[in-house]
Amino acid sequence: MNLGGSSFALRCLHCDAIYLPDQVSYYCPSCELDGALDLVYDYAELSRGFVQGVQSSDYFDMWRYTSVLPTSLEFTPHLHTGGSPLYKLKHSGPGRVFIKDDSRNPSGSLKDRASALAVALAAEMGVKTIAAASTGNAAAALACMSAGSGIRCVIFAPTSAAREKLAQIRAYGAEVVEVEGGYDEAFAACHAACKEHGWYNRSTGINSYMSEGKKTVAFEICEQMQWRVPDRIFVPVGNGCIVGAVYKGFHELMLMGITERMPKIMGVQASGSDFMYRAWKAGDGPHAPQALPSATSASSISVALPRDRIKALRAVEASGGEYVVVNDAQIFQAILDLARSGGVFAEPGAAAAYAGLRQWGALQPDETAVVLVTGSGLKDIGGLLGSGVLDAAKSPLRQHA
Amino acid sequence: MNLGGSSFALRCLHCDAIYLPDQVSYYCPSCELDGALDLVYDYAELSRGFVQGVQSSDYFDMWRYTSVLPTSLEFTPHLHTGGSPLYKLKHSGPGRVFIKDDSRNPSGSLKDRASALAVALAAEMGVKTIAAASTGNAAAALACMSAGSGIRCVIFAPTSAAREKLAQIRAYGAEVVEVEGGYDEAFAACHAACKEHGWYNRSTGINSYMSEGKKTVAFEICEQMQWRVPDRIFVPVGNGCIVGAVYKGFHELMLMGITERMPKIMGVQASGSDFMYRAWKAGDGPHAPQALPSATSASSISVALPRDRIKALRAVEASGGEYVVVNDAQIFQAILDLARSGGVFAEPGAAAAYAGLRQWGALQPDETAVVLVTGSGLKDIGGLLGSGVLDAAKSPLRQHA
């Protein structure tokens, strides 16, 4: 593949056109679809460099895979990002279950992988301001990675965003622009401001580079399993960016000849926010423009119109996986089950992946599944308290001293 | 030193008597003082094994130092504990400042190091129930480490404990016994229950083994600095267990001949909870039985009568350090300064250490200081919101879409 001196190109997943990095901004010029551009590398060439890069890395973090990332180590933020633990879960049914605990990242979520890359790219471009529309984890991650970098961070948040989530974002020093309306209005306002002021837009869906940061979680899982792949991987799906990136990571390992098969990717949605499940079930592609009302307490996967729906549909279909739907009661129960059996405390959106494994049914005795925990339970203690699931559990004893 | 086949002994810091592990329970039989027993090893013998152990360890975690811990790898919990990052902070004054971010542990605090060891010891002893008196980080750490271990965890908490803190503890499946009164009443109730039922008591101060888990943070800092020691280390002080353990870790490195000097240990207290500062200033030893009323929003260092006051006083005096006092306004401002300059989000009790560095004054140009961040800011978002420090910072912009 001739990449004209660049280490990668961008391919439109809709029309298959290929562009060099300086030929496109966020969209494919002809299709103009959210989340349609995909970074592609010269995988045959990279194959050997990948393993060498991993072996020569001093740290177990996301940058040990720099050969398949669109940046160099020179610009990466200083915070230790990625390199999260993979645990074998005590599991009563058949098969083996592993937990990938990505809540252990600097700001408490997997989104740190994308934001670390965003800040590296902004630093490389010499951009002075970086912005994102988000109510939660992506914003906290961007604010965290921008802190101390000399790059100004502006977050566009719906007025409905929780004060607790905004507190973390503002603690890191990000400026918060409250936008009246929901996520869509915040997204539009961020897009307009970035266009007007020349800011770098890290919003999920529009920025194709963000998948590149997130895909490192797939490389890590594979390396932690001695370069074998699990049979299934359960991933929570909101905008679809994470599930798309997990697919991409495992697919690239195959393209480089490091692995020989794909894990079946199991996308898990909340029953109150199940756009991708319906699109997959209906089989008529990801382009339905109709947003569906979203109602789930799992805020990090509550999305009316998934921004990365093209990649999110491809991930499940091309890997032979499935979409699974779980309700909020199952999600909150999964928080307790995960914390009690493995010591990993997940936020609702992250625990959905484990609820999905339970809902989907028993693994085959020889199957291995990985559950991806994408965010920390400390981020949404209020949601856990409000769910009532702790009241239903054994009541506290009271002792008179 | 003849340890009669044991790998360590216990020395009373008050009367200097030495016991073998099976000769004592929690107290020195003659002195009966909280926090007076200290584990001692045959350091001359261990010296070579220590470096070999570190080099042969597969993971950067607290168990790479097992040769100087009172347990073997066989019994350690599965959660990745310790191995937290050390960052160089962008710092405007003279000298160099590093941040040791121990909020990156499984339950979000340095206490995970002690609780991981407690669960390992309980597993080794075949104990079925482990208990602790705590309102916060120590309880969450013990509940987290007990999860999935098959060991029942019982937490004795004052009725005044915050619901948010209890939610994390209960998510991990610990049983919570609410005790009317404050920490002292909870401590007494826990002690009585452990005596009556034969439970293992992990309460800070009474259990001398807990310093052993926490001291690994000193080994890590030293290893991360290529086996050099910083000139000063700033540590938040509540019960005094952490500052005592930091001293012990650096002291043991000297006893093994790995380093040649001690860092000056700087204990930082909240002005509303300054028992140790007053005891150090007065110079009449740690035995003043008079609890002082405690009033600070930094809940994890709010303590009326520090349980580990003997070790906490020794740490600062024997290292040539100082005690420093900061007020709550300085503590909350330090949360923002730390998050904004370094991307590390600390809870109030942890940010106190950084406030202490600022309050104490400028370092010498050739001095290196480490600030120990002991807990995650996500644990006390309510405290940050209540402090008003975010309101005083730049107000959010509002945009009408």
Which residue ranges make up each domain of chain B? 8-75, 86-108+209-389, 111-201
Residue B338, pLDDT score: 97
Tokens of A308: 């990365």
Write phi, then psi, for A32 (nearest 5 degrees). Answer: 55, 40
E strands, A151-219, are 152-158, 175-179, 200-201
Q: Does A39 or A208 have the greater pLDDT score?
A: A39
Place of tokens 């941040």: B99
- Are the beta carbons of A135 and A124 closer than 8 angstroms? no
Residue B362, pLDDT score: 82
The rounded distance, in Å, linking the Cα atoms of A81 and A73 is 13
Is the Cβ of B171 closer than 8 Å to some Cβ of chain A?
A: yes
Is the pLDDT at A29 greater than 50? The verdict is: yes
Q: In angstroms, what separates the C-alpha of B3 from chain A's closest C-alpha?
A: 36
Tell me if the domain spanning B86-108+209-389 has CATH number 3.10.180.10.
Answer: no
How many Cβ pairs closer than 8 A exist between chain A and B?
186
Is the Cβ of B254 closer than 8 Å to some Cβ of chain A?
A: no
* Interfacial A residues in 57-96 facing B (CB < 8 Å): 60, 77-80, 85, 87-88, 90
Q: In angstroms, what separates the C-alpha of B107 from chain A's closest C-alpha?
A: 8
Beta-ladder partners of B232:
B264, B369
What is chain B's alpha carbon radius of gyration, rounded to the nearest angstrom? 20
**A157-161, A314-318, B189-193: least confidently modelled range:** A157-161
Is the pLDDT at A141 greater than 60? The verdict is: yes
Question: Alpha helix locations (H) across A198-327?
Answer: 210-214, 216-224, 241-255, 275-282, 309-319
Place of tokens 């093994």: B256
The rounded distance, in Å, linking the Cα atoms of B333 and A202 is 29
Is the pLDDT at B322 greater than 90? The verdict is: yes
Q: In 3-state terms, what secondary structure has residue B98?
A: strand
Of residues A90, A163, A172, nearest to B340 (C-beta): A172
Nearest to A360 by CA among A265, A295, A286: A265
**Cβ contact A399–B179 (<8 Å):** yes
The rounded distance, in Å, linking the Cα atoms of B51 and B48 is 6
Q: How confident is the model at residue A157 (pLDDT cuts 50, 70, 90)?
A: very high
Q: Does A28 or A238 have the greater pLDDT score?
A: A238
The rounded distance, in Å, linking the Cα atoms of B386 and B332 is 10
- CA B199-B8-B207 angle, to 5 degrees, is 30
> Which secondary structure element, helix H or strand E, spans residue B133, and what is its range?
strand B129-133
Tokens of A281: 């079930």
Q: In 3-state terms, what secondary structure has residue A32?
A: coil
Residues 6+ apart with CB under 8 A from B343: A77, A78, A79, A106, A107, A144, A145, A147, A148, A172
**3-state class percentages of chain B: helix first, strand second, coil last, to nearest 5:** 45, 20, 40
Q: What is the mean pLDDT of chain A?
A: 92
Q: What is the mean pLDDT of chain B?
A: 92
How many other C-beta atoms can be found within 10 angstroms of the C-beta atom of residue A53? 17
- Are the beta carbons of A399 and B177 closer than 8 angstroms? yes
Its CATH class, for the domain covering B111-201, is alpha beta
Q: Is the ipTM of this complex over 0.85?
A: yes
Instruction: Give the mutation candidate from B151, B168, B172, B190 for the A interface (greatest A CB count, under 10 A).
Output: B172
User: For residue A377, what is the nearest residue in chain B, using CA coordinates?
Assistant: B168
Counting beta carbons within 10 angstroms of the beta carbon of residue A278, is it exposed (0 to 12), middle (13 to 18) or buried (19 or more)?
A: middle
Is the Cβ of B394 closer than 8 Å to some Cβ of chain A?
A: yes
What is chain A's alpha carbon radius of gyration, rounded to the nearest angstrom? 20
**A46-55, A213-222, A264-273, B143-152: least confidently modelled range:** A46-55
> Which secondary structure element, helix H or strand E, spans residue A56, and what is its range?
helix A43-56
Tokens of B290: 């008079």
Instruction: Give the mutation candidate from B80, B333, B399, B400 for the A interface (greatest A CB count, under 10 A).
Output: B399
Q: In angstroms, what separates the C-alpha of B395 from chain A's closest C-alpha?
A: 8
Is the pLDDT at A39 greater than 90? The verdict is: yes
Residue A251, pLDDT score: 98
Is the Cβ of B379 closer than 8 Å to some Cβ of chain A?
A: yes
- CA B356-B357-B358 angle, to 5 degrees, is 90
**Cβ contact B396–A173 (<8 Å):** no
Classified by CATH at the fold level, domain A86-107+209-389 comes out as Rossmann fold (3.40.50)
Cα B332 to Cα B90, B297, B381, distances in angstroms:
19, 9, 11
Residue B289, pLDDT score: 65
Residues 6+ apart with CB under 8 A from A353: A234, A235, A236, A268, A371, A372, A373, A374
Q: In angstroms, what separates the C-alpha of A97 from chain B's closest C-alpha?
A: 14
Residue A396, pLDDT score: 53
Place of tokens 């460099």: A49
Nearest to B274 by CA among B261, B254, B262, B288: B288
Please list every residue in chain B whose beta carbon sits closer than 8 Å to the beta carbon of residue A342. 147-148
Q: In 3-state terms, what secondary structure has residue B168?
A: helix
Please list every residue in chain A whose beta carbon sits closer than 8 Å to the beta carbon of residue B135. none
Phi-psi region of B186 (alpha: psi -120 to 50; beta: other; left: phi over 0): alpha
The rounded distance, in Å, linking the Cα atoms of B52 and B129 is 35
Residue A374, pLDDT score: 98
**Cβ contact A377–B171 (<8 Å):** yes
- Are the beta carbons of B204 and B182 closer than 8 angstroms? no
- CA A313-A315-A319 angle, to 5 degrees, is 120
Is the pLDDT at B395 greater than 80? The verdict is: no
Residues B239-284 have pLDDT tens digits of 999 999 999 999 999 999 999 999 999 999 999 999 999 999 999 8
Residue A401, pLDDT score: 41
Q: How confident is the model at residue B5 (pLDDT cuts 50, 70, 90)?
A: confident
Average pLDDT of span B159-165: 86
Q: Do domains B86-108+209-389 and B111-201 have the same CATH topology?
A: yes
Residue B401, pLDDT score: 42
Nearest to A112 by CA among A136, A137, A134: A137
Is the pLDDT at A289 greater than 80? The verdict is: no
Q: In angstroms, what separates the C-alpha of A375 from chain B's closest C-alpha?
A: 12
**Cβ contact B396–A167 (<8 Å):** no
Tokens of B190: 């826990």
**Cβ contact A343–B188 (<8 Å):** no
* Beta strands across the sheet bearing B152-158: A397-399, B175-179, B152-158, B129-133, B200-201
- Are the beta carbons of A205 and A307 closer than 8 angstroms? yes
Beta-ladder partners of B200:
B130
How many other C-beta atoms can be found within 10 angstroms of the C-beta atom of residue B376? 24
Q: How confident is the model at residue A204 (pLDDT cuts 50, 70, 90)?
A: confident
Of chain A, the percentage scoring pLDDT greater than 70 comes to 96
Amino acid, single-letter form, for residue B96: R
Pairing of β A264-270 and β A37-41: unpaired
Average pLDDT of span B301-325: 94
Amino acid, single-letter form, for residue A372: L
Is the Cβ of B145 closer than 8 Å to some Cβ of chain A?
A: yes
The rounded distance, in Å, linking the Cα atoms of B394 and A169 is 13
